[in-house]
Amino acid sequence: MSNSPMAVWSWLRSYGSFVFLGLGLVGVLYAGHIFNLAHQRAKFTVGYLTGYVYQKSGKRYNYRFEVQGTEYEGQSSSDKGMDDRDGARFVVEYDSLDPGTSVGHFDVFVPDSIRQAPANGWTRPPFPVPARLLDRGKEAGEKESK
């Protein structure tokens, strides 16, 4: 293949869609890998609902939480059975190395007996939570360590 602009354009017309799809697949796989890593390093804290926005993909809820004195904000899709009042308290899962990366588990309520989380969050909340919060991503880490 020569380096002429016409040859490059011809190659792109022939193979460009495959390159585009390949890059998209790599991006999705990388995002999944990052999400699993974040879950393996996950900590949990108390989140507070602060409002919502409508997007093309549906209603997204805004929340805030605190880690070591720094307040963070996040946004997640709703969960069935959630308390959608401003100020509602629920479990937030965050990456212990990057607390700005978080997921609000709106359907997992924090009991009134828990006033606040420790400054650095919990490795495992001190109240019953669904196994899905604690097990996700662990299988991948166990396979890698074998």
- Write out the chain's pLDDT in tens, 146 residues: 456 777 878 877 788 777 778 777 777 776 665 666 556 688 999 999 999 888 887 888 999 999 999 999 999 887 777 888 888 999 999 989 989 989 899 989 999 999 999 999 998 899 988 887 777 645 444 433 33
| Strand order across the beta sheet in which 98-109 lies | 70-77, 58-67, 42-55, 89-95, 98-109
Strands 98-109, 70-77: pairing kind: unpaired
Full-model pTM: 0.66
**Which pLDDT does position 49 carry in this prediction?**
94
Q: Residue 98 forms beta bridges with which residues?
A: 95
**Which pLDDT does position 62 carry in this prediction?**
93
CB 90, CB 133: distance < 8 Å: no
78 closest CA partner among 101, 100, 53, 95: 53
User: What is d(CA 34, CA 74) in angstroms, rounded to the nearest whole number?
Assistant: 17
Phi, psi of 52 (to 5 degrees): -150, 165
Going along the chain from its start, the domains and CATH numbers come out as 41-145 (2.40.50)
Give the DSSP H/E element, type plus range, for residue 112.
none
**Which pLDDT does position 69 carry in this prediction?**
95
